[in-house]
Each structure stands twice: as structure tokens, then as C-alpha cells.
Amino acid sequence: MIEEAITTLYCNTLPRNLAIADLGCSSGPNTFFVVTQIIKFVETLSQQLNRPSPEYQVLLNDLPANDFNSIFKSIPTFKHELYNEIQANKIGPCFISGVPGSFYGRLFPTRSLHFVHSSYSLHWLSQVFS
């Protein structure tokens, strides 16, 4: 499902930069899993379409109590592994930011994101209408 959405998004817009938000990113070993998959999809499409890689803006959101420091410490390892997996020197730069706050409120400016992902939001939906 994610691959189909990314393919449609990328092929229809061909963005020079791609802003990806992960709501409820947590701070464990899977923090960058979906982001890695998205970037791989885009890199494959870029190569197939003979387009330059976009720049990536990754916005990681979770509640303020999340351990964002451990996420930031793991960024060099994430980037190293990503570049090794893709094995391409032409991958676009990847800028990563932490965005603490609840996704019940506004977190991002209008029209600033291309793709938003959340693996762990379903259990909070009951609170949306409370």
C-alpha cells in the first residue's frame, strides 16, 4: 500500500524535495524502518525515470516525552546503512528533524508535507471524538 501511494505521488509530482512525516515514530530500532522503505521506493523510481534524486526532509513526530535524543544519536547509523543498502552515490541529501507534540493538534504548516505515515495511531482514534 505504501509503495503504491509513493509511486503515485512521485510520478504525478516529481518533487525536487520530498517531505515525509512519521507520526508516533517512537525511539526504538524500528524508528527509521518505514522511512527507509519510502526512500528506497523513491530512489528506484528516480532511476527508472532517469530523474535526479530528490532531497529528503524526514519529520519524526511523537509525544514530548519520547526519547528524541536517542533518535538523533542513531541518525549517522541510519544514513550509513541507507546509503549502503541503496548503493548509490547519487541519493539525495536527507534532513531529519524531531517534531514533539500530539497529532491531535496542528504540527506542520499548510501544504508542507508530501507523505504522512503512522503505524501506531489507530489505538488513539477513540480519543479523537471525546
Query: What pLDDT is recorded for position 50?
Result: 93
- Tell me the fold of 2-127: Rossmann fold (3.40.50)
Instruction: Encode pLDDT of 50-89 as tens digits.
Output: 999 999 999 999 999 999 999 999 999 999 888 888 876 6
Instruction: Encode pLDDT of 96-129 as tens digits.
Output: 999 999 888 899 999 999 999 887 656 555 555 5
Tracing cell 544519536 back to the chain, one arrives at 73
Arithmetic mean of pLDDT, 17-42:
90
Rounded Cα–Cα distance for residues 75 and 80 (Å)? 9
For the chain, the structural domain boundaries read 2-127
Which has more pLDDT, 90 or 5? 5
